[in-house]
Structure 1
Amino acid sequence: MSFSQELRTESEVIFQGIFEHPYVDGLGKGDVPKGALIHYVKADFEYLNAFINIYGLAIAKSSNREDMAYFYEQIGFVLNSEVHPHNNLCRVAGVAYDDLQGYPLPPTADHYVSHMKSAAQQGSMGELLAALLPCPWTYLEIGHYLIDKYKPEPDHPFYDWITFYATEEVESITTELREKLDQWAQNVGETEKDKARQAFIKSCQLEYAFWEMAYTQEEWPFQVATK
């Protein structure tokens, strides 16, 4: 069993929790509260900006041009492709995408971003890859899970969102990240692999928490006016 498959097996309970979360299930049913859609897009826009930053740090850690080119291409995917599922949610919510950009991260999303940046800045390439991997991997499986369970037709309100994350492109991103992590794991000891394992599991936990954050429309305890 590969290292990445070991991580997936160990995180099964978290993946199942994500599939069963009312926000994710609501996407399949075609029924998510408008406020939750808006809160998700606000947070995810800034989260993906941070994801781009992590890819930049991955380029800096890369020792060959093949890896540099890969992470550079992933920056383009986030910038040019991830807008499509966001636009689907905005269309259903009846709001303009541009109006949901530039908001501060809610506590859970802020914690997730800090976790990824810490892994990228202070950890090994393996920790960086392990911290990144749960995002595309959980979304890929969510897309397939919702297609299998609800079999959405083109008139489904979240058809574009669901089918986007079940595409070969997202599967390719997940597979390549897994392969890079597995290759790294073949050349390091158990201590280094355990650090990557903890980074992966924490990101999985925070993927679940991100859905909960959006569904409950989590905010900071106090709103403080700033100049």
Structure 2
Amino acid sequence: MSSYGQTFAAWRAGAEGHWRAYTHHPFVEGLGDGTLPRAAYLHYLVQDYSFLIHFSRAWALAVTKAETPEEMRFAARTLDSLLNDEIALHVATCAREGLSEDDVFAAAEREENLAYTRYVLDAGHSGDFLDLLAALAPCVMGYGEIGARLGREAGETPYREWIDTYAGADNQRVCQEVGALIDGAVLRRLGPRPQTSPRWANIQNRFTTATRLEVRFWDMGLTP
């Protein structure tokens, strides 16, 4: 998705087959054609609520890792959107199934969820702003790419609300803004030829590892 920025396009290409395994996972295809079992979807939503709580913590950490007021403001806006908008979809959907937010918050995290969320947080704690962005990007951009594709291709499906959320103009704008944030952060820290930097391979590995963990997250969703 070139509209998500030059750095993302390079990271996406560098992740090779892992990216397609993530964005075309059987769980994703089940959302698009409506064959995903409802129990699997609800299990995913419960785990994704926990994921988004930790994802919010990671964006809060980004505020402290940022080097400019603009980076700080962006991270703070993203944190607010996660806590007050995206999580609302999970809460509302689970509520229709008889699960309160307290029930969802108290649910035990699966190992796949623990591995992914703690990896992202560790990337931020042990690295800098760019390390953290590379670990965060697969979720932001991947869901945007999945939503855009399913929005075009999916027919009648009970998961249209999920698809429309990530295919929608608001989310697509967020993906473009995050892409611009990443491009600016890379230029500021690595210069105009970032792929020649000694850091590039490690940052690419951050992105690829997080993408692999996204695949495992979808695998988890299929095994309630």
Q: TM-score range by the shorter chain?
A: 0.7 to 0.9
Query: Is the Cα contact below 8 Å between 2:56 and 2:82 reproduced in 1?
Result: yes
Q: 1:87 Cα shift?
A: 4.7
User: What letter matches 2:126 in structure 1?
Assistant: Q
Q: Which residue of 2 aligns with 1:167?
A: 168
Identity within the alignment, %: 26
- Report the 3-state secondary structure (helix = DSSP H, G, I; strand = E; otherwise coil) of the residue aligned with 2:139: helix
Rounded to whole Å, the distance in 1 between the matches of 2:21 and 2:204 is 19
Q: Indicate how the Cα distance of structure 1 residues 143 and 91 shifts in structure 2: closer, same or farther if over 3 A, else same.
A: farther
1:102 to 2:106 alignment = yes
Q: Indicate how the Cα distance of structure 1 residues 125 and 83 shifts in structure 2: closer, same or farther if over 3 A, else same.
A: closer
Match of 1:38 among 28, 31, 42: 42
Q: What's the TM-score, normalizing by structure 1?
A: 0.85
Q: Which residue of 2 aligns with 1:196?
A: 203
1:8 to 2:8 alignment = no
The CA deviation string for residues 182-211 of structure 1, in whole angstroms up to 9 with x for no partner, is 223233262222221111111111111101
1:65 to 2:65 alignment = no
Rounded to whole Å, the distance in 1 between the matches of 2:98 and 2:218 is 20
Query: Is the Cα contact below 8 Å between 1:23 and 1:32 reproduced in 2?
Result: yes
Rounded to whole Å, the distance in 2 between the matches of 1:72 and 1:209 is 28
Unaligned runs of 5+ in 1: 218-227
Q: Which residue of 2 aligns with 1:212?
A: 219
Q: Which residue of 2 aligns with 1:121?
A: 125
Rounded to whole Å, the distance in 2 between the matches of 1:215 and 1:110 is 17
1:146 to 2:147 alignment = no
Unaligned runs of 5+ in 2: 191-195
- Report the 3-state secondary structure (helix = DSSP H, G, I; strand = E; otherwise coil) of the residue aligned with 2:222: helix
Query: Is the Cα contact below 8 Å between 2:46 and 2:90 reproduced in 1?
Result: no
Query: Is the Cα contact below 8 Å between 1:133 and 1:174 reproduced in 2?
Result: no
Rounded to whole Å, the distance in 1 between the matches of 2:155 and 2:213 is 27
Q: 1:88 Cα shift?
A: 6.5
The CA deviation string for residues 151-200 of structure 1, in whole angstroms up to 9 with x for no partner, is 44xxx421111010012222222222222222232332622222211111
Query: Is the Cα contact below 8 Å between 2:33 and 2:155 reproduced in 1?
Result: no
Rounded to whole Å, the distance in 2 between the matches of 1:120 and 1:183 is 18
Query: Is the Cα contact below 8 Å between 1:116 and 1:128 reproduced in 2?
Result: yes
Rounded to whole Å, the distance in 1 between the matches of 2:94 and 2:16 is 31
Q: What's the TM-score, normalizing by structure 2?
A: 0.86
Rounded to whole Å, the distance in 2 between the matches of 1:149 and 1:12 is 23
The CA deviation string for residues 87-140 of structure 1, in whole angstroms up to 9 with x for no partner, is 565377x33242322222111110001110111001121111111111011111
Q: Indicate how the Cα distance of structure 1 residues 135 and 31 shifts in structure 2: closer, same or farther if over 3 A, else same.
A: same
User: What letter matches 1:205 in structure 2?
Assistant: R
Q: Indicate how the Cα distance of structure 1 residues 45 and 51 shifts in structure 2: closer, same or farther if over 3 A, else same.
A: same
Q: Which residue of 2 aligns with 1:47?
A: 51
